Amino acid sequence: MKSIAVLCAAAVVLSACTTTGSIDTAIQKNLPATCNLIQTGHAAFIAASASGNIKASTIAKEDAAYRGAMVVCADPTRVTAANALVLAATAYATISLALKEAKNVSR
């Protein structure tokens, strides 16, 4: 649900932009909030996966997504603003799916 909200928010922000420069500025301005959502999702996944019943492949995917996003979040200048948005959105979606699986297993 949050991933849909993030994507909708990004769409609204980007729809207000008229030039590439303003799109890049909007993405860079909103990246910290997206990074916070990724960190929150990762922390929730760690807590939900404490049961130890999560598939190793799910843990590996979530970990790779989180680590990749943190590289971008730590230094957004390493990638273009558009790439940062794609990487962050992909990571958030992956972490959200892993969290959903972890919650379903722990029930």
Write down the pLDDT at residue 38: 93
Write down the pLDDT at residue 70: 92
Residue 18 three-state SS: coil
In order along its 107 residues, the chain shows pLDDT tens digits of 555 555 545 554 554 544 567 777 877 788 888 899 999 999 999 998 887 888 999 999 999 999 999 998 888 888 888 788 888 889 999 999 999 988 888 66
- Closest by Cα among 88, 77, 75 to 33: 88
Write down the pLDDT at residue 20: 61
Domain boundaries, given as residue ranges, for the chain = 2-106
